[in-house]
Structures are given as structure tokens and as C-alpha cells.
Structure 1
Amino acid sequence: MKKRLILALVVLAVGTLCLLGALPAMGYQEAPMLRVKVAAGELPPIEERLPAEPLVVVAVGGEIGVYGGSMSVSPWCPNHHTDEYTVSVEPPGYIKTIPNIIKGWEINEDATEFTFFLRKGMKWSDGAPFTADDWIFWYEAIEGNAEFSPIRRSWYSIGGEHGVLSKVDDCTIKWTFCQTFGSLLDALAEWPVRGEMQFAPAHYLKQFHPDYQTPDELKKKMTEGGFDTWMNLFGVKLDHMNNPDRPVIRPWVVMNEKGSEIQLWERNPYFWKVDPEGNQLPYLDYAECPSTAGKEATLLRMIAGELDLVEVGCAGGLTNFTTIMENRERGNYRTVKKVGGKGAHNVGAFLTNVSHKDPAKRELFTSLDFRKALSVAINREEIIAVAYKGMGIPTQVSPATGPPYHGERPEFKEYYTQYDPALANQLLDGIGLTERDNEGYRLKLDGEKLLIILQVQSAWIAELPDIADMLKEYFGEVGLNCIVKPMPKAAVYKVVEAVEHDIFIRYFAGGDTLYSPANPYLFPRTVPHFAAPMWSLWILTDGEQGEEPPEWVKRIAQIDDETKAEVNQEKRIALFNEAVLLHVNNLLPIGILGGGGLADSVFLLHNRIRNVPVPIDLHLICGQLSSWYILEENQ
């Protein structure tokens, strides 16, 4: 059977990518802080720490950086400066999939078998070998353990069956699927966390797992750590962002727990990337995330020159934008545009909970006419003018504009986005909400008072609570009594996961990546799904749990499966556009504005940071920061 083979040494350019690069002839160099450890006998030589074929990275502009220094980032950024993809995509265009963690792959003719080739000699941050056994441990002991993972992840399932992962040898693994899985590599390039979801440090985590420990040994560890179940113990030890003992393959290793005054990451001495001159990456010794009291404190630290990388929303967004711009010289920072989807991000989009535990509210929230009424009750132009200073366009949640998704089409942007309170009142009357209380607010169909809670994240994005307040006023004008409840991210997600929310306000993406030109929350791939957790559960358990969804939701699940099998990318994009249009036509979620907020916002970047691509692409930033550096005189 013919094979499709990709086994080439790839030079990854941050901003520009060059293929067929060569390993440096002059040997390898390491950071001074690591040379000291080697001299003291605390580390083996650099040649023994790197894999046989490290990934050679050419930074934007071809600059060779210098070692040393620490980069301080805002709380939004920790994952984005430590994540790595299993495979990546080649800029510009992000159409071609290229190696990253794995050095290459082989695909059989019908795309049912994917053989991944690991980097020989690659190591975890503690020096232990990174091998196929780590992938099998994840597959069998984590993903395959019904207690720890009662519902398996859906990204590696197709045709109603999950893929089978097997070990070929220490440096080779194979995925086998029951039918063609044409989009697997694109899927792995979509979210960096998918890389972390395919392997785990078996040598470390086995000591906390019942398959590898006696009941007495495991109980002792649970007691010592104050855990009630082995799953809680294992979950904490698995957390690479909060457990300094947990080995990683990222450029920096976390040194202390979240909640510390400054959470610190130190360079990984076994990191598997080098620059063209053989300098082991990362250039920076440390990355740090200071704890702040919110967006105002973050803004003050940026103005004081204490932060190097801040997403503008963490500093107050457009609310503080004038202050941000006026203080650039004082804080020695610049604004760098960030891109990610060309209008695909919809700020203020919200979901009605169609799985609501209150039958009366569920009856309303599942009514398309009710959702239409909510949509036309909103004065989107006013929201854009007030909250975003005129930047943005009224739109439902839709794909990115321009090729390949062409989300600028009217059928995506204009569906029930007009401001029409009269139509909203007509629709609400039409579904039977004609009775009102003594304050003029509509009663539920059962005659009881109707109060709708608008749950909203309080810190991200900065303008969301203000948008929620405006939604409250618009809905009140058509007789719907609402209250706004801003909550921290963790708290609001807890409410949503418990299916106790009415309306959840956040932002959603309609399309900016290879595999899924839609935010995964638009598809029933996760439990809980923000809008329809019981529908999602029904789909993910093949009808054994949850509630049977309507036919349009079943079609979306079918599309999700069809796109996985589709090898042709144009056909795959057409299928996703169909799925997004189904969401638009059913107003789940309901969009507010696009072309503003997150998608067309900026990073605040200290002027001492070098090798930064402009604009910064949200999709690729995860693999870029190891090439950023600080000039020696500014460290």
C-alpha cells in the first residue's frame, strides 16, 4: 500500500518558515546558568541533553538572540508562553502542517493509520527519556481509566469509535482509526493542549496511579496530601501549571504554585529546540507572572515598566486605552497588533441555557422565537459606540472574513441583528408571554414572575460587564426582568458546569483555525457544553445519558464526524460553514459584535523584548516565545 511520508528536518521560522534546514556544524551552546550547573556536575553536557535531531528555529528577521533575563507577563499569558503543539502550521496562511513535538509522520493510503516518529533522545525536563511509553501511559492509564476519565475526549473519535494508540518502538507510535480521518493532523495543530493530551510523564505519575501502586501505598499518599480520592491526588500531580514537581517538555518549568505573589518559570535544561547557530532555546532564563489585583493594577505595573507582555484586555481594554497610549514612553512599551481570525471573534455573544433545570425557563430558552426576540431587542450599534468607541460591526457568531471561510456573507452577519423592539414584543407576545406583573415585566408561561440572570465574566473581556448592563436595559424595554451578575472566570464556569445559569455572556470564535473554523463550544464536543450540556452529553454518550437534542444539533454532530473523515480541506471548510450557519439560524449563541475587542486588539510589549513578530498571531504565539530575547544591557 502506498504511503504518504513526511520525515524531514524542519527549520521553524517564527513569522517565516524555511524547510530543509540543517543542523549547525559548530556544535551546541547553552545558557550560562546551565554551564554553571554542568561544571558543578548537576547537569550532563548539552550534547547529552538535546535529542539527536532537535528542531531548528529561525526567529523573525533571523536574529540570533542572547541568553539571560526574565520576561514578566500578565495573568492571561501563562499557557501561551509554555504551550507546544504536537504539530504546527506554516505561516503565512497556516494551511500546511509541519512537525513540532514529533519530527515526522507516515499516513497510509486511506488515512486510517497515522504513524508518528518521536525525536530520539528527547527528554523530559527532569532528564528522563521522552518515549512512546509516555503516550501509551496517557492512552491507557489516564484517558482509558473510567474513574479518572468517565467520558473520553471526542477529538480522536470518528465513526462512533475512538482511535487506538499503539507502540511500535520507543520512538514510534501509531494511531489506528475505523475509517478515514483526513483532518487528524489539522486537529492536532488546532489547540496546543492536544499535544499535552496525548502523553504524560509516566515515570513520575505512576507513583500516584492505582494501576502501578498497591492500595496501601496509594492511600498513604492520599492521606499525606489530604486527598479523598486517588483521582483528586492524580489530577493535582498531573497539573503542569501548578505542580513544580511535574516534568514537562515546555521551554520553561513552573517553580511554584498559582496564587504566589509571583509565579515563576525557569528554563528547561532539556528543551529540544535550537537556533541556527546551535544555541539551545529558550534564550530567556525565566518567565514570571506577577499576581495582580485586577486590570487597574496590571495597567499601573505596565506604566511603571514592570511588565513585558500584557494583553490589552488585562489592562482594562478600550476603557483604559487612552491612558495606555498616553503612557507608552513612560512605561517604555509599544502596542503590537494581534491577529486571530479576522473578525471571527464575537464579543458579548451569549448563550441561553436550553438545558435549564427550571421547566418554565427551559420552555422559553428552547424557543427559537424567544431567542429571536432577544436578538432584535439589542441595539448593537449603540453597544459598539459606547463600549468599543465605534470599532466593530453588528453580527452573529460567524467565520472569519475573507478566504477561506468568507464569514462576511450576509447570511452569517445579518440574521436577526437589526434593532427592532416592536418585533421583539410581537415575538414574545406570540409565544404566550402576554401577562405582566405590577412593574410591567412579563410573567412566565406558568404565571410566576420571570427573572433572568445574566452571568458574565468579570475580568475578561474588560468590557463584558458593561455590555451585560446594556443588555439588561434592552431586555427590560421589551418586558424581560433581568439582573447582571459579574463573576470571576472560575466561579462563573462552576455555575455553568452545574447547569445553573440562565444566560452566559462571553466571547465566541466563529472561525480562525485549520481543523475547526469554529470555537469548540459551538459544537457538542465537550461536557459541559455552555448552551446545551444535556444535548452534548447525549451525543457524547451515544444517547445513554443526557437529553435527545433537536435534529439540527444532531446534524452538527454529524458534520463534526464528516469533517474528521474529509481529506479535502475545501470540502471540510464548506461543512464547517454549514454547521456555523445552523448555529446562526438557531441563534445559539446570539452574537453582538465582531471586528473589535479581542480579534482587533493589541498586546502591550516592553521595548526591551526582541524577535517579536508583528503582528502577533494568537494561533502561533505558543511556539514562538522561546526565541524572544532581551538585549544584555536591558536585562
Structure 2
Amino acid sequence: MKMRKNWFILLIIGFAFGLLLAACSSDSASEEDPAEGSDSGEEEPAEEEPASDEPQMGGTLTGAMDTAPAGVFNPIFYEEAYEANILDFTHESLLSQNDSLEFEPNLASDWEINDDQTEITLTLEEGVTWHDGEPFTADDVVFTYKAMSSPGYVEAGGIRTEYVVRLLGYEEFNSGETDEFEGVVAEDDHTVTFKFAEPNVTILKDVNFPIIPEHIFGDVPIDEMAEHPATLNAGEVIGTGPFKFTEMLEREQYVLEKNDDYWKSEPYLDQIVWRIVDQSVMLGLLENGEIDFIADPTGVPAPDFDTVDALDHVEIIEQTDFGYQLMGFIMNHRPDEQVESGELNPDEWIPNEDMSNQQVRQAMAYAIDRQAIVDNLLYGHGSIINAPIAQQFWAYDENAATQYKYDPEQAGALLDEAGYEDTNDDGYRETPDGEEWVVNLNYPTGNQLREDSAPIIADFLEQAGIQIDLRQPKEMTAYQEDLTNNNEDWDLYLLGWSLGSGDPDPSALWKSEAAYNFSRWNNPDSDQLMQEAMQAPEAFEQEYRTEKYSEWQTLFSEDLPALLLYAQNKIYAFNERLNGVDPMPYSFNNDPELWWVSE
């Protein structure tokens, strides 16, 4: 059989290490002062100043990312986790969450929900200003949600409609039938009411989106907002957060300066600098102190855990990823007209003949030894995941999903049954029509683990007789553009999702019309189950929603628009001089105004 050099050579390099969790204290030890005075006649040696446990003002932190942000620094338009590493520091939502994922006050100090869960009125903090000194008001909240509800928002590249589709009058306003926006109303400068068409199970999640300034974007047409200087340029991006985005050397360095007038408290740090560096040199920079932390979105690569753990001046926090890596199947393609218009209409999609075959997708799942990948690439710092809901959520049900344990015989039997057989004895299977069958596998650069996984996955599939065209990887920005356009030239894609923490509802990724549904999975039963899981009044009972999501996870794993590969543990590493770190289950970037450095 014509195959690449067998990947199992990798297995002899090392086997899984035990899962090691090191959450170290950042407190500094201090020595007692020596007794004053001496009659020995000898000069006492000078003593070092004791280290302070109190937060210190000033200093610069340097973080590292392995991939540059695409450059869209606007919450309603950005797409990548790398851009979130800027926006997490510059923009804020009305609410926040604690480590149990419960909602707490943020820009809104309190709120009241009516009896039938169709309205929520929030009281906003007073005295909050934007980075340019303008006051933050309820009008900014109305404007943000109105922009995401506007006609042309999706066509302009907007993908946050999950936060607005349930608002009262959304369809009429979005379609252009009316200029009246009923869904969000400013009662006064510091009071805002959200109105929903029906009782809303996710009412707190839906009002918890980062706010953008009306005084900057109010006169900008929606189709120009993604290209506006205040979306793209350092120094012009305006938020209410603890840091301002002030400088960038594109694809090399991004600088955040503290917001002296931050409404919660003045940040301790003067500056946070993001450097874009290749993973191959990242650990060396951490070791010699040129960078201070490695965090989201990829963290420390699992194979380097022991190396980093051995550094005396570096602390490690390891936690389960709030997301997963996947191999997606392009089941349908968008016609050119939809790509040009930005429309998503499943009724007009063009089936991708081989990948739209359920038996082919299931066969590929059985052909890949995911546990071997976890053991030998993640060194045990991760787990197989079969259901596309974050493991930290109550809705996650591993037992509801088909497990797809490594079974080459089952893979072969399914392919035979589907009519994909090796008819000319060249080692590769032909299509049911007897034509050469070549499946392309596409993946992006930036995440070394994903890059290392790609040839291994290709080798597993070739051992099942599937000829694979392993494409040259593309830089993430170009890769995501191709995925979005979904031309007729792709079959398989590798991608990772960092999931939203507000609610387990998976519709933003897997509903037929969802912009992030890159597989172009069009399954009415799936859409129906996700809708039922949100349908009041039954959905106000968590037990009901749990049951519906279990049914959905069973359906997902059987129809299989994507094979979930693994959930890699997040391994955060930071110099011990950084204090105040308190990651959330879904992000390292928590309360950065409380971070401080001890020199």
C-alpha cells in the first residue's frame, strides 16, 4: 500500500505521563529584619529589603501568542481567539461570570427579570467612561445590539446573531420591514431594558455581550464598520476596559496601556505587551525572562510540560480546556452566489458527494486512534471528547454519544458497505462509481499540536485505504476565509473551538444556518432538538434541557458532521513575578487590573 512513513515511529519517542496538576502559590516569602544594634565592633552585612506581599504599582508584562491576530478588534465582528487576547482587556460586558459559571454584576450593577422571562431591566454603573473620556450610557448598549440586529450585519461578516435573534421585533428589523428597533430600550442614561419575543431561557447570556461605543460607530454604515479605523487600528479602538490598545507592529507586537480612569480601580500594571513568536522559541523566551506568560489560546504544548515545570521561576496552572479540537467533514458547499452575498441558505447548498455519506464519516471516525494521539502527542494532558459541549457544563453527556473507539475492521466494513472498495489492487479504495477517490485534508498553521496531528490523522486514514491529499497548511486568517467561503475544493478540515461560557446551547456552532457551521451540516432533526432545548416553559427546568441535549449529543455523534478529536488541557505558565492570577474555567484573562509584578 502506498503510505507515508508510518507514524507509529512517533510512539517509541515516549509514552503518556501521569496527569500532573501544579497550581502554585504566588506569595513571596520574606525574611525577618535582623536585631538592631551590635556591640561586636564589626560592621553588620547589608540585608536585602524584604519582599512585599502587597500589590505594587507599575511594571510591564509580556505575553506570547504563536499566531498573530487577524486584525479585527471589534467585538461584534472579530472571529479568532487571538483577537480576543486584545479585546479581553479593552472591552466589557454588562455581566461577568464566576468560576462556577454563575452570572455576576459588571457594567450592570443589578437587574430585574419579569415573571414570564420576556424582559430584563438592568441598572448600569454610573461614572464609567470610554477610553476617550466619553461617558458610557444605556444608548451604547442599545446601539451595540441594534448593530448586530441590522440588515446587512451578516453580509458584512457579522457572526454574533445568537445574541439578538430572540429579541422582540428582530425579524422585522433585520429584514428591513421596519426601522423601529423594539428589542432593547434605553429607559434613561443608566437603565436599559431588553425585550424578547418569547420567554427566554438564556436571558442572562443574551444580555452579556461586550459593548461598543455609539459615539464612535453611530454614523458608520453597518457594511463599513468592519473596515473602520476604530475596528482595525491601535490607538483608535475604544472600550471601557482596564487597558487601552495603543500600539501595534502588525504580526509582531501588540501593546496595551493601562486605563488610569478605569471605573473599578486603577490597574496596577502600566503595560501589557503581546509578542508574536513561534512555538519553537517560546519556551526559551520564558526561561530567560523575555516573556512573562504563555496562556490562551494554546498555552504550553503538552510535550513541554516537564521542561517548564522544572523552571524554578515559572509557575504552572493546568485545567481542562473549555472547548475541543475536531476534524470536520465538509458535507455541503455553498454556491458561489451565497459566498458573494454572504447568505447562508441550506436549501441551496450543494452536497459534497463522498463526505455527505454518513457511513464514510463513521468509517473515518473508527479509523483514527484518538487515544494514541492523546497519549503520544498530548502526553496524557488531555482527553478524548465525543460530545460537542464543554465538559464543565451540566449538559455534557459523554454516555449519550457514540464512542468511536479505534476499530480498523469496523472502518473497513463500513466503507465496503458504502461501496468504497479497492477494485484495482493499488492499496487505495475507489468510489462506488469505480473512480479514483482522493480526500483532501486541510489545516492551519500556528498550533503546533494540530500541525503534528495532521500527518498522523492522514496516515490512519490511508491505513484504511483512503487516499489522502494532505494540503500545505495555511496561515489562520487565510484558512478561516476559505472555510467561510466553503468552496467546492475541500473535504476535511482541522479546527479548534474555544466555547462560550454563558450557556451550553450549541446552536451557534451547529445549527444549519450558523455562520460557524463550517461543515454545512443541514439536519432538521438536530435543529429541532436544539430549538426544543430552548423552548419555554419546559426549558426553564434544567432536567428537561439536560434530556434534550443528551438526545442531541446522540444524534450529533451518529450523524457525525465532525469527529471530535480531543480536549487538550490548558497549561498556563507564568513568571513568578506575576501576581494576582486567577483564571476562569474558560480563560486566563481574568481581572487583569488586579495583576501586578514583584521585581
Common topology (TM > 0.5): yes
| Superposition pairs of residues 196-595 of structure 1, within 5 angstroms | 196=211, 200-206=212-218, 209=220, 231-232=223-224, 235-239=227-231, 242-257=233-248, 259=250, 261-273=252-264, 280-292=265-277, 294-311=278-295, 317-326=301-310, 328-329=311-312, 332-341=313-322, 345-347=323-325, 349-356=326-333, 362-399=352-389, 404-405=394-395, 407-409=397-399, 411-412=400-401, 415-436=402-423, 439-460=426-447, 462-485=448-471, 486-500=473-487, 501-508=490-497, 513-516=501-504, 518=506, 520-524=508-512, 526-532=514-520, 549-559=522-532, 561-562=534-535, 566-594=539-567
Between the aligned partners of 1:160 and 1:205, the Cα distance in structure 2 is: 23
Query: Residues 165-218 of structure 1, C-alpha deviation per residue, up to 9 Å, x if partnerless?
Result: 1121111111111210132103445xxxx223xxx22222245x25xxxxxxxx
Aligned partner of 1:99 in structure 2 is 105
Structure 1: which amino acid aligns with 2:198?
Q
Q: Is the 8 A contact 2:367 2:406 kept in 1?
A: yes
Q: How far off is 1:518 after superposition? A: 4.6
Q: How far off is 1:562 after superposition? A: 2.3
Q: How far off is 1:404 after superposition? A: 2.8
Aligned partner of 2:210 in structure 1 is 195
Between the aligned partners of 2:421 and 2:118, the Cα distance in structure 1 is: 57
Q: How far off is 1:561 after superposition? A: 4.1
Determine if the alignment matches structure 1 residue 630 to structure 2 residue 594: no
Q: Is the 8 A contact 2:389 2:504 kept in 1?
A: no
Aligned partner of 2:584 in structure 1 is 617
Between the aligned partners of 1:365 and 1:252, the Cα distance in structure 2 is: 46
Between the aligned partners of 2:193 and 2:304, the Cα distance in structure 1 is: 51
| Superposition pairs of residues 177-196 of structure 1, within 5 angstroms | 177-188=196-207, 194-196=209-211
Q: Is the 8 A contact 2:538 2:544 kept in 1?
A: no
Q: How far off is 1:610 after superposition? A: 0.9
Q: Is the 8 A contact 2:109 2:125 kept in 1?
A: yes
Q: Is the 8 A contact 1:164 1:175 kept in 2?
A: yes
Q: Is the 8 A contact 1:319 1:463 kept in 2?
A: no
Q: Secondary structure at the match of 1:375?
A: helix
Q: Is the 8 A contact 1:123 1:130 kept in 2?
A: yes
Aligned partner of 1:86 in structure 2 is 94
Q: Secondary structure at the match of 1:154?
A: helix
Q: Is the 8 A contact 1:373 1:423 kept in 2?
A: yes
Determine if the alignment matches structure 1 residue 146 to structure 2 residue 119: no
Query: Residues 19-41 of structure 1, C-alpha deviation per residue, up to 9 Å, x if partnerless?
Result: xxxxxxxxxxxxxxxxxxxxxxx
Cα 1:166–1:314 change in 2 (3 A) is: closer
Aligned partner of 1:117 in structure 2 is 123
Higher helix share: 1
Between the aligned partners of 1:402 and 1:204, the Cα distance in structure 2 is: 38
Cα 1:323–1:575 change in 2 (3 A) is: same
Structure 2: which amino acid aligns with 1:619?
Y
Between the aligned partners of 2:425 and 2:334, the Cα distance in structure 1 is: 27
Q: Is the 8 A contact 1:305 1:333 kept in 2?
A: no
Between the aligned partners of 2:538 and 2:130, the Cα distance in structure 1 is: 33
Aligned partner of 1:173 in structure 2 is 192
Q: Secondary structure at the match of 1:422?
A: helix
Query: Residues 498-518 of structure 1, C-alpha deviation per residue, up to 9 Å, x if partnerless?
Result: 113311112346x88441265
Q: How far off is 1:264 after superposition? A: 0.8
Query: Residues 133-152 of structure 1, C-alpha deviation per residue, up to 9 Å, x if partnerless?
Result: 22233344x33442444477
Q: Secondary structure at the match of 2:57?
A: coil
Cα 1:436–1:64 change in 2 (3 A) is: farther
Cα 1:102–1:308 change in 2 (3 A) is: same
Q: Is the 8 A contact 1:204 1:246 kept in 2?
A: no
Q: Secondary structure at the match of 2:440?
A: strand
Cα 1:473–1:149 change in 2 (3 A) is: closer
- Structure 2: which 5+ residue stretches go unaligned? 1-52, 66-81, 171-181, 336-348
Q: Secondary structure at the match of 1:459?
A: coil
Between the aligned partners of 2:512 and 2:538, the Cα distance in structure 1 is: 17
Between the aligned partners of 1:114 and 1:416, the Cα distance in structure 2 is: 41
Cα 1:80–1:168 change in 2 (3 A) is: closer
Q: Is the 8 A contact 1:524 1:557 kept in 2?
A: no
Between the aligned partners of 2:495 and 2:240, the Cα distance in structure 1 is: 32
Q: Is the 8 A contact 1:336 1:604 kept in 2?
A: yes
Between the aligned partners of 1:170 and 1:514, the Cα distance in structure 2 is: 26
Q: Secondary structure at the match of 2:353?
A: helix
Q: How far off is 1:249 after superposition? A: 0.5
Cα 1:564–1:100 change in 2 (3 A) is: farther
Q: Secondary structure at the match of 2:354?
A: helix
Q: Secondary structure at the match of 1:271?
A: coil
Between the aligned partners of 2:412 and 2:251, the Cα distance in structure 1 is: 51
Q: How far off is 1:471 after superposition? A: 1.2
Q: Secondary structure at the match of 1:103?
A: strand
Cα 1:564–1:355 change in 2 (3 A) is: farther
| Superposition pairs of residues 9-20 of structure 1, within 5 angstroms | none
Cα 1:526–1:283 change in 2 (3 A) is: farther
Q: Is the 8 A contact 2:387 2:398 kept in 1?
A: no
Between the aligned partners of 2:196 and 2:165, the Cα distance in structure 1 is: 8
Structure 2: which amino acid aligns with 1:157?
V
Structure 2: which amino acid aligns with 1:458?
T
Between the aligned partners of 2:210 and 2:392, the Cα distance in structure 1 is: 29
Equivalenced residues, count: 499
Structure 2: which amino acid aligns with 1:430?
E
Q: How far off is 1:131 after superposition? A: 1.0
Aligned partner of 2:70 in structure 1 is none
TM-score by length of 2: 0.75
Q: How far off is 1:585 after superposition? A: 2.2
Q: Is the 8 A contact 2:90 2:238 kept in 1?
A: no
